[in-house]
Structure 1
Amino acid sequence: MSHFVTDILLVILGLVASVIIVLSIVGIGWFLVWKFFLSRFKFVRELLGTVSEPNSEASNAGAISSPTRIKSRKSRLD
């Protein structure tokens, strides 16, 4: 009977360890994608509620919909 209980505990431990490993990999992946890509877009920062100083040039440096970019696009089309 103790062999059966040991097997069940090992299965549960394996499942818990697998879930922890998967969640860790997903968390590290999200952090890296956020750090190197998503944090540059104001829209994503607004969705997550992490918008910092709105007048800062650094926070608007990678924003796609900045007014100067829109104006420059319109002037090229004319």
Structure 2
Amino acid sequence: MKELVLSVFSVIASLLFVIIFILIGWYIVWKVFISRFKFVQELIGMTTEQTSTEEMPKVRSKKARFD
């Protein structure tokens, strides 16, 4: 009986550890990488109506060449 309880506890503790590890990993990836994509922000409704010039990416405009 003691071995059964110990094995069940071991399985539950292992699953809990894996789930916590995955959640922490997703949180870190979200904060560092995924949350910066405008598309993902729009999917979850995290968009802000005001976009400042600091948040706008600096893009060079292409000049027409007449060679």
Q: Do they superpose with TM above 0.5?
A: yes
The equivalent position to 2:34 in structure 1, one of 14, 38, 42, is 38
- Aligned counterparts, 1:1-78, within 5 A: 5-47=1-43, 49-57=44-52, 61=55, 69=59, 72=61, 75=62
Please list every run of at least 4 consecutive aligned residues from structure 1 whose deviation after the TM superposition is greater than 4 angstroms: none
Residue 32 to residue 11, structure 1, CA distance change in 2 (3 Å): same
Q: Which has the higher contact order (CA 8 A, sep 6+)?
A: 1
CA RMSD of aligned residues (A): 2.9
Identity across the alignment (%): 31
- Give ranges in structure 1 of 5+ residues lacking alignment: none
Q: How big is each residue's C-alpha offset from its partner over 1:22-76, in whole Å with a ceiling of 9 and x where there is no partner?
A: 01111111010000110100112223x1413132338xx38xxx7x75x84xx36
- The count of residues paired between Structure 1 and Structure 2 equals 65
Residue 56 to residue 11, structure 1, CA distance change in 2 (3 Å): same
Normalised by the length of structure 2, the TM-score is 0.71
If each structure's helix is expressed as a fraction of its own residues, which one has the higher value?
1
